[in-house]
């Protein structure tokens, strides 16, 4: 491996050839500010905030795209560099919609932080402001172009990571805007509403549609019985909003906070994650043993499902008919639990706390009303829950740990790992093995399907029968895997999660969410699994009681009515 020696701010540095100045400075412990840069995704040098002075060069160089050279002399903090950075940020601010106190990204805005870091106290330029309408057409995401700084991070993540290409730069010069083709609304294009754009937007130009006031109204209505469910991945991310390390497992504090917010019952989506395994595992066994359509592909991720409906509708017969755990919960809450607790389902409001923006779209799908009502009424992201907790002045970090309510709060370790890529597959295998063989699984941990590799493959031996499985996370990797299947590659069971890392990297998670943070959240998920007293879905006593008292059996008539669904082919454009 060849190396290059250079000097950065009088510090000798030796790095691998081809390294950018930005990365070389980082290795030397020297900070260079950036704005448009996303490592491996958006490296275009557009914002010019990371400029440095290179001896012998006429112009300042964008450090994020300039490779090092032997003997290079770099200054990252010269008067010329500081002046240029301040000028570039001032020009961005001169066209920015300055609503900082009321902006959703206030105090967590990269442009705001950069202006503070560079010591900008006034903007010397006053130019024409962009004027575009707010696009709030979807149930999930709001696009506010007047706050856009044209960094193109959202464009890159949508194209390179998700493979959707829903938005792009339109127009030229001052008239450039990031928008769908022909400036259509997000609702009218093949946007899957995954929210990855909201995670990477450095300002408040893209964010989730907020349903907090609707939930406050429901909680204040004495005629309403308001229950809440929390997704597996929220327990390892909510703490980040309160200064705790990413990956901290804060399940008990989250339950306590929700009770203090006024919810009548606090339940766990993990309960219906176990239920999903019972239904989906049984569906796989039936297809595998009776010659059904294979590979069976999981259906837990609504962003993936919508992507499939837009771009790969030919795989509709392959996708499990099971609803997601969120939607199964709503259906069970407004039927089984309502009967058990003597509550009028017409007066029940089901709220979900999800790491996902696409869940907001999912709960409003017309197919999701099998309880006789809209099964899930409102979806709040992890970020929205944090805002509610802060609004009430609750000291999250000092809360005692509390337990979920029964019976829809009992779950297993298999349900917890739904939050990480590979978790649904592993949970399904834990149950499928024992249901097929009637024997105890010798080892519960399926390490081959874990981790952040884009596509993971494994062959599982079930008493001499070889079951070939695959796991993909992010829609770009899903596209690659589906193309392999179309080309003839054989699998029996496939898990696809829309977001990088699975739900722990969902579009509704705390900002920032990056690779290092995803890794910590995944560690937290598997730690929570290990600490659970029961780690297989079919051993959950409350799930067993649900079948005994209400559903009858997996894939039975009542299960098919309440827990399964159908899909809709949609246009690509």
Please identify every residue annotated as catalytic. 280, 283, 300, 320, 359, 362, 367, 503
For residue 12, the SS3 value is strand
Copy the structure tokens of residue 294: 């294979």
Q: For residues 275 and 556, give the distance between their C-alpha atoms in angstroms, rounded to a whole number.
A: 13
Q: For residues 477 and 497, give the distance between their C-alpha atoms in angstroms, rounded to a whole number.
A: 10
Burial class (CB in 10 A: 0-12, 13-18, 19+), 410: buried
Residues 6+ apart with CB under 8 A from 454: 472, 473, 474, 476, 477, 480
Give residue for tokens 């978790």: 423
Give residue for tokens 């010019």: 48
Strand order in the sheet with 493-497: 296-297, 493-497, 465-473, 455-462
Q: 343 to each of 223, 347, 548, how far by Cα in Å?
A: 11, 8, 21
What distance lies between CA 74 and its chain's CA centroid? 38
Q: What angle do CA 352, 211, 326 make, to 5 degrees?
A: 20
Q: Which residues pair with 13 in a beta bridge?
A: 6
Whether 496 contacts 481, CB under 8 Å: yes
Q: Which residues pair with 208 in a beta bridge?
A: 141
């Amino acid at each position: 491996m060849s190396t290059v020696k250079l000097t950065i701010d009088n510090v000798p540095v030796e790095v691998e050839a081809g390294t950018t100045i930005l990365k070389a400075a980082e290795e030397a412990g020297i900070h260079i500010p950036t704005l448009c840069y996303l490592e491996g995704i958006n490296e275009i040098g557009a914002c010019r905030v990371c400029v440095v002075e290179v001896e012998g060069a006429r112009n300042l160089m964008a450090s994020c795209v300039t490779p090092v050279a032997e003997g290079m002399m770099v200054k990252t903090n010269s008067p010329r560099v500081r002046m240029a950075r301040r000028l570039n940020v001032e020009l961005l601010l001169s066209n920015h919609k300055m609503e900082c106190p009321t902006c959703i990204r206030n105090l967590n805005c990269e442009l705001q932080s950069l202006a503070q870091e560079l010591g900008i106290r006034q903007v010397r330029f006053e130019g024409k402001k962009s004027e575009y309408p707010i696009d709030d057409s979807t149930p999930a995401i709001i696009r506010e172009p007047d706050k856009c700084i044209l960094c193109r991070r959202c464009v890159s993540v949508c194209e390179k990571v998700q493979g959707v290409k829903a938005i792009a730069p339109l127009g030229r010069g001052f008239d450039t805007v990031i928008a769908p083709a022909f400036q259509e609304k997000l609702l009218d294009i093949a946007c899957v509403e995954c929210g990855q754009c909201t995670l990477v937007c450095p300002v408040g130009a893209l964010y989730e549609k907020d349903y907090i006031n609707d939930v406050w109204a429901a909680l204040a209505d004495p005629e309403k019985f308001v229950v809440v469910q929390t997704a597996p991945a929220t327990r390892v991310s909510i703490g980040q909003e309160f200064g705790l390390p990413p990956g901290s497992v804060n399940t008990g504090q989250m339950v306590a906070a929700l009770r203090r917010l006024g919810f009548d019952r606090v339940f766990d989506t993990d309960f219906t994650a176990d239920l999903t395994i019972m239904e989906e595992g049984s569906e796989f066994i039936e297809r595998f043993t009776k010659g059904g359509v294979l590979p069976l592909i999981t259906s837990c991720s609504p962003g993936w499902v919508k992507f499939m409906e837009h771009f790969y509708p030919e795989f509709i017969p392959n996708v499990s008919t099971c609803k997601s755990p969120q939607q199964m919960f709503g259906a069970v809450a407004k039927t089984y639990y309502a009967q058990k607790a003597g509550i009028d389902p017409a007066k029940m409001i089901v709220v979900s706390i999800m790491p996902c923006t696409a869940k907001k779209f999912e709960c409003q799908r017309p197919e999701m009303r099998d309880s006789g009502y809209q099964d899930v009424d409102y979806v709040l992201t992890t970020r929205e829950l944090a805002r509610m907790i802060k609004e009430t002045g609750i000291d999250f970090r000092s809360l005692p740990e509390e337990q979920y309510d029964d019976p829809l709060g009992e779950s297993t370790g298999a349900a917890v790992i739904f939050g990480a890529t590979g978790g649904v597959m592993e949970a399904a295998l834990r149950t499928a093995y024992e249901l097929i063989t009637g024997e105890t699984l010798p080892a519960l941990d399926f390490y081959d399907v874990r981790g952040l590799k884009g596509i993971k493959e494994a062959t599982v031996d079930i008493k001499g029968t070889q079951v070939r499985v695959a796991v993909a996370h992010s829609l770009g990797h899903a596209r690659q895997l589906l193309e392999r299947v179309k080309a003839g590659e054989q699998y029996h069971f496939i898990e696809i999660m829309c977001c990088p890392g699975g739900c722990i990297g969902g579009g509704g998670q705390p900002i920032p969410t990056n690779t290092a943070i995803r890794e910590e959240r995944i560690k937290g998920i598997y730690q929570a699994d290990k600490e659970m007293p029961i780690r297989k879905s079919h051993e959950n006593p409350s799930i067993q009681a649900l079948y005994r008292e209400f559903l009858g059996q997996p894939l039975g008539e009542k299960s098919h009515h309440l827990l399964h669904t159908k899909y809709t082919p949609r246009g690509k454009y």
